[in-house]
Amino acid sequence: MIPADRDLPQVLDSLLSYLADHLPPPVYSLALDVLSRFIAIVSSFASILTSITTDPTSWDLYGILPSIISILCAYLALLTLYRTTTWMIRTIIWFIKWGFILSVIFTAMGWYLRDAAMGEVGIAGNSLFTSISALYNHASAAMDSTKSHAASSNTHSNTRRPKPWDSFDKHRRWQPENQWTAATADEPADNVLKTVIDIAGGVVKQGVRWWEIAKTVVDDGKSTVENGAAGPEGKRRSRRSRAQ
């Protein structure tokens, strides 16, 4: 059945009856709305073309203007329908994508925490913190050796400063070396980098300490559970030994 407010040709009655019998009511209503808007656009274009092809002196504004308004209304309705549909599809895809990503993240976190509680990742965690701590110690030692080498080079170059009566070649060799060592010793970036490394090392050491505390708590809990489970069995064995 075609609603009364739908002005559609009678040629489409059989097609619409078939769609009404085989489509859900919401889908049928949407298809009927799109079809009616499309037919309105086509009929309006046909009316405008018919009016334009005639003699300009016989143009009737009251006959052309309704067709133009019908075209604009039908175009805006179809555009709104298209944008709404695409927005709904994009929103559904966005929710599916981020729901999948968050589910994977939370699943990985739960798996990691479960393994950490069971003590399966204790060795890996300790080795990781140990490697980071060793890297920090190595970087700190390298910075200290670089600064001491720069200071010793500066002192060494200052003690071997050429005499005024020495050759110009010695003076030219001494000045760039002295300037480079002084710039290296007084470079503020080294102090900043050393401070950053010290802070990172403190954080790493604090993390290792907390990791050991957490591991100790988990191990104590496991031992308590195992002792509680083995308690009745131990009591039975002791009673049997006493009876014998």
Over its length of 244 residues, how does the chain's per-residue pLDDT go in tens digits? 444 445 666 767 777 788 888 888 888 887 888 888 788 778 777 777 777 777 667 777 777 777 778 778 878 888 888 898 899 999 999 999 999 999 988 888 887 777 666 654 444 445 455 555 665 666 666 666 666 655 555 554 454 666 666 666 776 676 655 554 544 444 445 555 566 566 556 655 555 565 666 566 556 656 655 555 555 555 555 555 555 5
Q: How many domains does the chain have?
A: 2
Task: Examine the domain organization and report whether 78 and 35 are in the same domain.
Answer: no
Is 130 contained in some domain? no
Q: Does 68 share its domain with 100? A: yes
Using the 3D structure, point to which of 95, 116, 137 is the last residue of a domain: 116
User: What 3-state class would DSSP assign to 101?
Assistant: helix
pLDDT for 62 equals 74
In a domain, 24, yes or no: yes
Interatomic CA distance for residues 139 and 159, integer angstroms:
30
Does residue 154 fall inside a structural domain? no
Q: Is residue 188 part of a domain?
A: no
Question: Please, are residues 23 and 31 in contact by the beta-carbon 8 Å criterion?
Answer: yes
For residues 75 and 79, what is the distance between their CA atoms, to the nearest angstrom?
Answer: 6
Q: Do 70 and 33 lie in a common domain?
A: no
Q: Per the domain annotation, does 14 fall within a domain?
A: yes
So what's the pLDDT on residue 92? 94
Cα–Cα distance measured from residue 144 to residue 150, given in angstroms and rounded to the nearest whole number: 10
42 plus 72 within the same structural domain: no
CB-based contact 22:48 (threshold 8 Å): no
End-to-end CA distance of the chain: 95
Tell me, yes or no, whether 23 and 46 share the same domain: yes
The CB-side HSE value for 26 (13 A sphere, CA atoms) comes to 0
Structural domain of 22? 10-52
Give the number of C-alpha atoms closer than 13 A to the C-alpha of residue 2, restricted to the C-beta side: 18
Within a domain: 201: no
- Say yes or no: 15 and 34 in one domain: yes
Please report whether residue 102 resides in a domain: yes
Distance of CA 173 to CAs 59, 157, 183, 229, Å?
Answer: 99, 10, 16, 80
Of 91, 86, 200, which is closest to residue 143 (Cα–Cα)? 200
Site of tokens 């060494």: 156
The angle that helices 61-118 and 25-53 make with each other, rounded to 10 degrees, is 150
Give Cβ neighbours of residue 185 (< 8 Å, ≥ 6 apart).
Answer: 147, 150, 151, 154
Please count the other Cβ atoms lying within 10 Å of the Cβ belonging to residue 181. 20
Please check whether residues 48 and 67 belong to one and the same domain: no
For residue 136, being part of any structural domain is answered with no
| Residue 186 confidence (pLDDT) | 46
Are 198 and 140 spatial neighbours (Cβ–Cβ below 8 Å)? yes
Name all contacts of 199-208 with Cβ < 8 Å and 24+ positions apart.
Answer: 200/136, 201/133, 201/136, 201/137, 201/140, 204/129, 204/132, 204/133, 204/136, 205/133, 207/129, 208/126, 208/129, 208/130, 208/133
Residues 110, 67, single domain; the answer is: yes
Tell me, what's the pLDDT at 64? 75
Count other C-beta atoms under 10 Å from residue 232's C-beta: 9
Q: Which of 87, 116, 145 is the last residue of a domain?
A: 116
106 and 86 in one domain? yes
